[in-house]
Amino acid sequence: MVKQVKPKPKKKIKKAKPKRVRKTARAPAQFKGLGSSLSGIDLGLLGLGEGGLDDLNSGLLGKTGNSVMTEDLVDVPPKAKSRGTFKYPKSAKKKGIKVYVVLSILIDERGRVDPAQVLESNPPGIFDEAALQGINAWRFEPAKYEGKKVKVWAKQKISFDLS
């Protein structure tokens, strides 16, 4: 006689659901009940319609003493007045490689470049050093904001082409 053993049914293991913890910010006791009642209280701030801001500089950016701006914020963007030359790397010249390099340059109030950095180059790395050396020789008419010369970040694309 052979005993048949029935397999025991597998018990389903229920995965525990993570408990949600609900945290609510509570106002300190001294501020309870102040929710919407602040609308009628005068906090002593200057009103926009009363001319209270006349004492402040009316310029959007205020005083620009040592600040650095971007091309899109200045009234008069910088303009190149003398351009240095760019040395075409010999290895690339032999192969006839065409390249472009996009630089981010800081043009100071005197129109000099300091510093410059490579944002993009295609193909990468071949002309980066040549572009950085060449752009440092450029001189610019400085950017102006509210009639004053200001430092400005600008982008300059340099194309290396044998034609």
The yes-or-no verdict on residue 5 having pLDDT over 80 is no
- pLDDT above 80 (res 120): yes
Residue 141 confidence (pLDDT)? 94
| pLDDT tens digits, one per residue of 8-23 | 666 666 666 666 655 5
Quick one: average pLDDT of 132-152? Answer: 93
State residue 96's pLDDT score. Answer: 81
Long-range contacts of 63-69 (CB under 8 A, 24+ apart): 64/145, 64/146, 64/148, 64/150, 67/150, 67/151, 68/106, 68/150, 68/151, 68/152, 68/153, 69/143, 69/145, 69/150, 69/151, 69/152, 69/153
- In the predicted model, what is the mean pLDDT of the chain? 73
- The pTM score is 0.56
**pLDDT tens digits along 43-97:** 444 434 344 444 444 444 444 456 788 888 888 999 999 988 888 877 778 888 8
Q: Which domains does the chain have, with CATH numbers?
A: 68-160 (3.30.2420.10)
